């Protein structure tokens, strides 16, 4: 939201109050309260008719400083609020003649006490991260409506690039953009997004999180080119400066504050196949798909039934359409006997024709209007209502309906929608603020479903396929990229969204292989199969046409098989990174700047990524099969072609459909399993441990986890005198070590 007319002038419709200078402070042992006047105080008379803004400094975690800017304290606190984690922190407070210094770990805020010189500078040790200068912290009032806004602006350095803010389909580097934190069902080719997160990360090693579920507005070098401005309606604004010694640790610290991603079950990392959306299907059709995949030896882990497993105009009634699926329990049993997991589509809406509508209406379980009527709309399903998850009884009721499906044999749910949440003239059971609930609703919706899966299936078996999200939703994986089109530009914008989401605390991510809208050419489908199978989760899904490979061309089945087999073989490696995402918050899909700090060439790269910390993936976005990608400094090894590269350069190559840039960086340990036909097996058994080129003195430690996420072994590699000294322990069964650069290996098994 812009308040200025150019650099010098305030827009005529706003009346501003700025923090101009320090006036007073108090410190209570935990919190520092600083009072800033809105004009220079020359004498006692100056304090009359002068606004004072209170700035509170506090710390929920080490290396995190919270800042709360308040104009009028009397504004009521409203529900909902994000659930944040706090620990005992090592804070300190010091005062000099000119400064107040508030510190948490290695992060500190220095607040100027000099007359007419309000500013706050944030340092990590001796490095200046960002600052809030005079007139950066402000309060604005609209002259006519009297609506108020609280505003902060933080400086941007030369060569500083900013990322994140949830799933974004716009350019990956956010400098120059306006971003509104407001969930919308807008597809993948606009500024709108399904998953809006008010958190951005800088390549300088810090992040900023605005703690509000409302519609936070960001101007990222788009109003004042030297600053990030963020604003919020009302009298208060709270944000957190998050600092660490590496970029990916900043994301980890953000997850420590807002919640770590849960660990999905190993089977969920395999290939998912769906009925697609508006296609015609029954058990004969779905069995044809499943059997066709088996005939072609394409490993399939999950079969998903999209909307029309229920009868049209009755979504959701959570009842199988008896005309299409007359014996669902027997069908699910047959599919389970084929080693498949079953997913079904749901959403939080109850159509008027659903038998559940009268029940929910009678019990008062739907979101209502302020006059007591049920809120209803014909958009999506005729006369549908919205379940009120602020009502514990409504949540329990909704979960009970889903439990009957789990009891029948369903294994997980695709939790679609959660973005189209009304705001005007709405009333919630717990009197939540309706603007705040617009983004927050998805948290309650997905939490209810995820909690049910944990209760019924067990802690390690819960997984969703969710589209909408807000802060904390990373605890309910997996999320997919929404309704993309079957084109190369849409494939590229989908990757940008995944990279942005991974910079916002989400450890796992998927997308619709082949594109959702329209039908891809065989060329695009095969390239998307390569890309989609090299994400944490992989799903074939479409709108009005099926996505089984043999409908595209004969070669498509072979391509899909190759990369599905490859993913299964790489599961010991991938699952180790999945556990890392769960325990430390490091995303599996990693933008290049997260691993190669200091290499300026990686800052804008958005058509390649790292899968974990070692494997570089460069999807192909051209019908010619050509690809340009950048290799940072070091030796690299393409595990598909056995070709070695010297980095610190751009590479241009051409690939057929059975290969692509998939490169292992130097000083890396790659775990390769013994099965290529399923993702869940004994990862610790018959491991092939591939070692890339190690430079002299390099040391790497790799943890090995079983298919349940339990640590079962550790591998340590140290390069001395050009030889690789390997030690391993745990319950690794028959490991095989291979040096890809032909360095001599000395192996020692530790007891």
80 prior amide bond cis, ω within 30? yes
Evaluate whether residue 579 is within a structural domain.
no
Give the side-chain half-sphere CA count within 13 A for 263: 22
Same domain flag for 426 and 513: yes
Evaluate whether residue 588 is within a structural domain.
no
Evaluate whether residue 408 is within a structural domain.
yes
CATH number at residue 724: 2.60.40.1180
In this predicted model, what pLDDT tens digit does every residue of 381-419 receive, in sequence order? 999 999 999 999 999 999 999 999 999 999 999 999 999
- How many degrees, rounded to 5, is the angle at CA 358 between CA 355 and CA 364? 135
| Contact between 446 and 480 (Cβ < 8 Å) | no
Tokens of 249: 């640790």
Same domain flag for 363 and 510: yes
Evaluate whether residue 24 is within a structural domain.
yes
- DSSP-derived secondary structure for 310-372: SPTT--S-----TTT-S-HHHHHHHHHTTT-EEEEEE-SEE-TTSHHHHHHHHHT-B-EETTS
Domain end, chosen from 549, 569, 589, is at 569
Number of structural domains in the chain: 3
CA distance 353 to 133: 58
Is the Cα torsion angle 592, 593, 597, 603 positive or negative in sign? positive
- Which pLDDT value is given to residue 47? 87
CATH number at residue 85: 2.60.40.1760
Same domain flag for 611 and 702: yes
Domain end, chosen from 253, 281, 304, is at 253
Same domain flag for 367 and 401: yes
Same domain flag for 245 and 277: no
Evaluate whether residue 564 is within a structural domain.
yes
> 11: exposed, middle or buried (C-beta count within 10 Å: 0-12, 13-18, 19+)?
middle
Same domain flag for 205 and 304: no
Q: Where are the beta strands (DSSP E) in 97-235?
A: 99-104, 107-112, 120-124, 127-132, 138-142, 148-155, 162-166, 177-180, 196-202, 206-210, 217-220, 227-233
| Contact between 671 and 686 (Cβ < 8 Å) | no
Same domain flag for 84 and 160: yes
Whether the predicted model's global pTM rises above the 0.85 cut: yes
CATH number at residue 524: 3.20.20.80
Q: Choose among 143, 149, 248: nearest CA to 202.
A: 248
Evaluate whether residue 44 is within a structural domain.
yes
Residue stretches of the chain with pLDDT short of 50: none
- Which pLDDT value is given to residue 108? 98
Same domain flag for 360 and 243: no
Same domain flag for 249 and 371: no
Tell me how far the alpha carbon of residue 474 is from its chain's centroid.
6
Domain end, chosen from 550, 569, 588, is at 569
Q: Helices H, strands E: what count in the chain? A: 10, 48
Evaluate whether residue 315 is within a structural domain.
yes
Same domain flag for 611 and 560: no
- Which pLDDT value is given to residue 416? 98
CA distance 618 to 632: 13
- Which pLDDT value is given to residue 697? 98
Evaluate whether residue 587 is within a structural domain.
no
Same domain flag for 243 and 337: no
- Which pLDDT value is given to residue 263? 98
- Which pLDDT value is given to residue 698? 98
CA distance 265 to 536: 12
Q: Cβ contacts of residue 44 below 8 Å, gap of 6+? A: none
Give residue 78's domain range: 4-253
Same domain flag for 515 and 642: no
Catalytic residues: 416, 419, 483
- DSSP-derived secondary structure for 473-528: GGGS--EE--S-BSSHHHHHHHHHHHHHHHTTT---EE-EET-SBS---HHHHHHH
């Amino acid at each position: 939201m812009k308040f200025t007319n150019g650099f010098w002038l305030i827009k005529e419709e706003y009346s501003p109050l700025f923090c101009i200078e320090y006036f007073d402070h108090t410190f209570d042992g935990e919190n520092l309260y600083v009072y800033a006047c809105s004009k220079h105080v020359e004498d006692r008379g100056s304090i009359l008719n002068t606004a004072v803004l209170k700035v509170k400094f506090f710390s929920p975690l080490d290396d995190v400083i919270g800042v709360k800017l308040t104009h009028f304290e009397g504004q009521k606190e409203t529900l909902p609020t994000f659930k944040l984690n706090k620990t005992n922190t090592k804070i300190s407070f010091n005062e000099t003649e000119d400064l107040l210094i508030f510190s948490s770990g290695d992060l500190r805020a220095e607040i100027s006490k000099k007359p007419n010189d309000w500013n706050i500078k944030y340092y990590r040790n001796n490095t200046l991260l960002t600052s809030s200068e005079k007139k950066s912290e402000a309060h604005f009032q609209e002259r006519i409506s009297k609506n108020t806004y609280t505003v902060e602006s933080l400086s941007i350095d030369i060569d500083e690039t900013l990322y994140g803010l949830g799933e974004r389909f716009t350019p990956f580097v956010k400098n120059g953009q306006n971003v509104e934190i407001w969930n919308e069902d807008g597809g993948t080719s606009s500024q709108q997004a399904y998953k809006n997160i008010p958190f951005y990360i800088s390549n300088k090693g810090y992040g900023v999180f605005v703690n509000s579920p409302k519609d936070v507005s960001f101007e990222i070098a788009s109003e004042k080119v030297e600053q990030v401005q963020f604003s919020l309606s009302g009298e208060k604004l709270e944000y957190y400066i998050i600092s660490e010694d590496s970029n990916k640790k900043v994301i980890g610290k953000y997850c420590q504050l807002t919640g770590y991603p849960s660990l999905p079950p190993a089977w969920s990392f395999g290939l998912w196949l769906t009925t697609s959306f508006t296609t015609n299907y029954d058990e004969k059709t779905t069995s044809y798909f499943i059997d066709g995949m088996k005939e072609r030896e394409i490993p399939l882990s999950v079969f998903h039934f999209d909307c029309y497993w229920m009868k049209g105009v009755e979504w959701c009634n959570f009842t199988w359409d008896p005309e299409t699926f007359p014996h669902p329990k027997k069908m699910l049993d047959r599919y389970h006997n084929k080693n498949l997991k079953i997913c079904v589509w749901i959403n939080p809406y109850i159509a008027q024709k659903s038998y559940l509508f009268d029940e929910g209406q009678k019990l008062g379980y739907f979101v209502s209007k302020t006059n007591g009527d049920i809120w209803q709309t014909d958009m999506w399903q005729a006369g549908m209502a919205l379940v009120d998850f602020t009502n514990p009884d409504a949540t329990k009721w909704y979960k009970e309906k889903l439990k009957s499906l789990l009891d029948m044999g369903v294994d997980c749910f695709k939790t679609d929608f959660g973005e189209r949440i009304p705001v005007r003239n709405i009333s919630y059971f717990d009197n939540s603020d309706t603007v705040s609930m617009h983004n927050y609703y998805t948290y309650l919706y997905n939490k209810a479903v995820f909690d049910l899966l944990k209760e019924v299936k067990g802690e390690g078996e819960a997984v969703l396929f969710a589209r909408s999200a807000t802060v904390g939703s990373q605890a309910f994986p997996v999320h997919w990229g929404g309704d993309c089109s079957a084109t190369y530009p849409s494939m590229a914008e989908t990757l940008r969204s995944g990279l942005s989401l991974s910079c916002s605390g989400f450890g796992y991510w998927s997308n619709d292989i082949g594109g959702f809208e329209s039908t891809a050419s065989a060329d695009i489908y095969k390239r998307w199969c390569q890309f989609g199978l090299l994400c944490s989760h992989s799903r074939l899904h479409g709108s009005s046409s099926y996505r089984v490979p043999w409908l595209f061309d004969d070669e498509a089945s072979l391509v899909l098989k190759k990369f599905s087999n490859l993913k299964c073989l790489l599961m010991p490696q991938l699952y180790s990174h999945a556990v890392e995402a769960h325990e430390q918050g490091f995303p599996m899909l990693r933008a290049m700047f997260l691993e190669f700090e200091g290499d300026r060439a990686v800052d804008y790269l958005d058509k390649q990524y790292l899968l974990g910390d070692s494997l570089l993936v460069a999807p192909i976005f051209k019908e010619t099969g050509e690809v340009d990608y950048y290799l940072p400094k070091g030796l690299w090894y393409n595990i598909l072609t056995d070709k070695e590269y010297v980095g610190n350069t751009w590479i241009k190559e051409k690939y057929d459909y059975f290969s692509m840039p998939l490169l292992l960086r130097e000083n890396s340990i790659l775990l390769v399993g013994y099965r290529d036909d399923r993702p869940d097996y004994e990862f610790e058994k018959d491991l092939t441990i591939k070692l890339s080129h190690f430079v002299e003195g390099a040391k790497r430690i790799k943890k090995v986890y079983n298919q349940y996420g339990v640590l079962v072994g550790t591998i340590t590699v140290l390069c001395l005198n050009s030889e690789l000294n390997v030690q391993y322990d745990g319950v690794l069964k028959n490991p095989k070590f291979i040096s890809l650069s032909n360095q001599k290996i000395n192996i020692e098994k530790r007891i």
